Structure 1
Amino acid sequence: MIDPPVAPALCHPSTMVKTSYLVGEQADMLHRGSDTAWLRAASRDFGGFVADRVGIRQRWGVPSELFWFTSGEYYLGSLVIRHRLTDDEGGGHIGYHVVYPWQRQGHATQMLRDALLKCSALGIERALLTIAPGNAASLTVVHRNGGVADGMNDEGELRFWIDTPSVS
């Protein structure tokens, strides 16, 4: 296991992690057997790529905000917070992933914990997460953060509610 140089934290996308973002996402895509072609455009204009991802944007028809989980110049993963649910509640409030080289080190658990604080600050008292039934790692992350099962959605994903912490 690699110890990050500083405690990882959610932050806004930044060009400071260009190399580790591109390498991490490429490793993750290759590990999953997914297409990496989108990374070519990102590598050519990383500044523009980042600028398109900063701030509150309309995604899935609702205001959403993207965060990267970083430690110094190291990119470990990404997380999105939907400020409100879509009409079908698909995807829930929070979506996250840790890139392959950094998986199984507790980063997703911390990312979700930090995201729940951000949700609370947005006035979201209970956050909905949806998870593919076969995603054992994400099921563990949600349970470690107090997730309570609430059946399945129309897309066959498991639904979990997590109370957000009180913000003082």
Structure 2
Amino acid sequence: MIALTTPPRLAPPTTRVRVSYLTGEQADSVHRGRDTDWLADAARDFDGFVADRVGVRERWGVPSEVFWFTSDEHYIGSLVVRHEPPEDDLGGHIGYHVVRPWHRRGHATEMLRQATVIARGLGIDRLLLTVEEDNGPSLRVIEKNGGVHDGRNPDGQLRLWIDTASVPSGG
């Protein structure tokens, strides 16, 4: 197991993690049975791939920002902060994933904690997150960060809210 010498943090996508991004996302996609063809395009022009992900962009019909969770040259996962939830009520403010090689080490919990600090800085007082009922690991991550259940969305996903002021800034 790789020992991280620097605590991971959310930051804008960077070319510094090229190799670990491509290998981590490939391992994760293969494990989930998902297509990996998109990684060939990313590998051919990683600088352009990263540039397309930096800054506030319109995604899912709302302004959003992509962050990567990294430690030095190690890519651990991705997180999206939507500045408002999509109008169709089929998603929340935050979407995240940790690539397979880094599962079960507390990274998703810390990513979400750091995302609440970013959201608070954007003036978002309450974060909406949605999760499939059978996704126990993600549900535990949200609950560890103060998520409070609030029914289901039209797709049947659980809705949870996090008060950004209740989550500590430091890790």
The answer, yes or no, to whether TM exceeds 0.5 is yes
Rounded to whole Å, the distance in 1 between the matches of 2:123 and 2:90 is 20
Partner of 2:39: 39
1:144 aligns with 2:144: yes
Rounded to whole Å, the distance in 1 between the matches of 2:23 and 2:165 is 34
Rounded to whole Å, the distance in 2 between the matches of 1:126 and 1:104 is 26
| Pairwise CA distance, 1:89 | 2.6
SS at match of 1:92: coil
Cα deviations by residue, 1:120-157 (Å, 9 ceiling, x for unpaired): 01110000000011111101101100100001101111
Give the unaligned 5+ runs of structure 2: none
2:107 partner letter: H
Please show how residues 20-99 of structure 1 align to structure 2 within 5 Å. Answer: 20-99=20-99
Report if the CA contact (8 A) 2:8-2:70 is conserved: yes
Question: Normalising to structure 2: TM-score of the pair?
Answer: 0.95
SS at match of 1:41: helix
Cα deviations by residue, 1:31-60 (Å, 9 ceiling, x for unpaired): 111110100000000000000000000001
2:84 partner letter: R
Give the unaligned 5+ runs of structure 1: none
Rounded to whole Å, the distance in 1 between the matches of 2:163 and 2:33 is 35
- What is the aligned residue count? 168
| Pairwise CA distance, 1:8 | 0.1
| Pairwise CA distance, 1:84 | 1.0
1:156 partner letter: G
Rounded to whole Å, the distance in 2 between the matches of 1:54 and 1:17 is 14
Partner of 2:119: 119
Cα deviations by residue, 1:84-112 (Å, 9 ceiling, x for unpaired): 12212321000000000001100000000
Rounded to whole Å, the distance in 2 between the matches of 1:4 and 1:159 is 33
1:48 partner letter: G
Partner of 1:153: 153
Report if the CA contact (8 A) 2:89-2:154 is conserved: no
Partner of 1:100: 100
Rounded to whole Å, the distance in 1 between the matches of 2:165 and 2:150 is 20
SS at match of 2:165: coil
